[in-house]
Amino acid sequence: MTASLDRLLAPAEHIRTEIFTDAGFDAVLFDRQQGGVIRLAGAAAAVWSMADGQTTIAQAIDELADIFGQPAAEIRADALDAVQLFDRTGLLIDSPPTAEPEHDHGPPRRDHHGETDYLARPPDP
Amino acid sequence: MPGSPPAVDPPIGDRIGPLDVAGADVYIETNDSDFADELRWAMTDLATAPRPAADQVVYRTTRRTVPWVLWSTLRDGQPCELTMNERYVLFHQQWELNRLMIERTPNALHAAAAVVDGGAVVACGASMAGKTTLAGWLASHGGKYFSDEVVGVLPGGMVSGFRRPLGIRHHGPLGAQLTDAPRLTSRFHDYEMLVPPSSLGATIATETSVPVRALVMPTVDLNEPSRATPLGQAEALVALADGAPGLADHGEQMFELLVELVGKVPCVRLSMNDMDQAMTVLGESIGWSP
């Protein structure tokens, strides 16, 4: 699915999220269907933390730009990469049904990190 | 040889047990007195008094010599394995007990544990990571042996244990502590030995459940000095999930217990070389004096 900027970021119902800020900014997701966990770190975790079912991709980019003090244009590429990752792994409620999980054998246990480090530190509360 | 009477395998002559496996009274019957002797020794720390109200599980592990030597194991009359060679049978028997333990432990974690200062140091990680070595070493150097292979995660940051024998290698740090020489040449051992922790000088914890004091992800690295590195909660959670058969079986409940655990106690990656040095760096990182 194309990552249109006005698309809502809404987690799929079978995904449960735990956010950790003790060592950077991480999201650990529990996949109720597969019985496994997925770790998102850096940019991917920051974008995922905005996925509340009410925030659009554009709003998430603006908010993250505000939090991290970076130009929205700089955040945008990473955010779109993150959304593509979410779609590939079926994490969003409207991820394409053809999305193939990366884990064909056994429960998933994946670590995903953002490409850039400006999102690696936790957002200010 | 023509005219010779057919060989007859001896009948069941030994019954070992009861052994406590997650609250069940387990008995192992066998027709080989050497195997019975080996079991009695290896399973010493699992022995319990008979409990009339407990579930009972009976294994029958027998040696046959006709038409050739092979071993078989039945559990409550149902076949588990029918064609084992002699060097495998003891380890298979232990594996059957592991399986029973996992079946009866709703939130099972693949881990070993020792109790120090009233709290469990729980060692998690892949096979051969050093979990048994760490738990066995702690238990024989001031701590108490609590569990190997399976730890049950309970609410409130508590764990339950499994006092199974330790699988140790002859030339490993724990193997050097074994002084019972006849056991070193058992026909039931291969590259690994199954030894009761008490034979290594370990004290055995009697508590059913204990609070967790630290989560440790050990590795063995003989090229670097031992060192302990704090682990973030997310990384620790993912590592725990990797070794949690209960996550597939009990899903979100197990996930919640693991989240609670990593939020309550220090999580440490421990690279082990010299074990005394490893205990020192571990102690410094979790506030314990070895």
* pLDDT recorded at residue A98: 56
* pLDDT recorded at residue A105: 37
Determine the Cα–Cα distance for residues A62 and A75; give it in Å rounded to an integer: 8
Contact indicator for A1, A84 with CB cutoff of 8 Å = no
B259 touches chain A (CB under 8 A): yes
Task: Count Cβ neighbours within 10 Å for each residue of A69-103 and write b for 16 or more, e otherwise.
Answer: eeeeeebbebbbbbbebbbebbbbeebeeebebee
Q: What is the pTM of this model?
A: 0.87
Using 50 as the pLDDT threshold, list the residues of chain B that sit under it: 1
Return the H-helix or E-strand segment holding B111: strand B108-116
Test B233 with A20 for CB contact under 8 angstroms. yes
Query: Above 0.90 for ipTM, yes or no?
Result: no
* pLDDT recorded at residue B208: 93
Contact indicator for B75, B96 with CB cutoff of 8 Å = yes
* pLDDT recorded at residue A61: 96
What is the rounded (10 degree) CA torsion for A94, A100, A103, A104? 140
Average pLDDT of chain A to the nearest whole number: 81
User: Is residue A116 over pLDDT 60?
Assistant: no
Report the residue of chain B nearest A22, measured CA to CA: B232
Report DSSP state, residue A92. Answer: B
User: Is residue A100 over pLDDT 90?
Assistant: no
User: Is residue A107 over pLDDT 60?
Assistant: no
Phi/psi of residue B225, nearest 5 degrees: -65, 150
* Per-residue pLDDT reduced to its tens digit, B209-264: 999 999 999 999 999 999 999 999 999 999 999 888 867 766 899 999 999 999 99
Test A26 with B232 for CB contact under 8 angstroms. yes
Test B237 with A37 for CB contact under 8 angstroms. yes
Test A109 with B241 for CB contact under 8 angstroms. yes
Determine the Cα–Cα distance for residues B153 and A76; give it in Å rounded to an integer: 42
Report DSSP state, residue A5. Answer: T
* pLDDT recorded at residue B137: 94
- Find which of A14, A18, A19 to mutate to test the B interface (most B CBs within 10 Å of its CB): A18
* pLDDT recorded at residue B182: 62
B229 touches chain A (CB under 8 A): no
* pLDDT recorded at residue B289: 83
* pLDDT recorded at residue B37: 94
* pLDDT recorded at residue A119: 39
User: At A124, is the pLDDT very low, low, confident or very high (cuts 50, 70, 90)?
Assistant: very low
* pLDDT recorded at residue B6: 53
Q: How many CB atoms lie within 10 A of CB B36?
A: 19
* pLDDT recorded at residue B111: 96
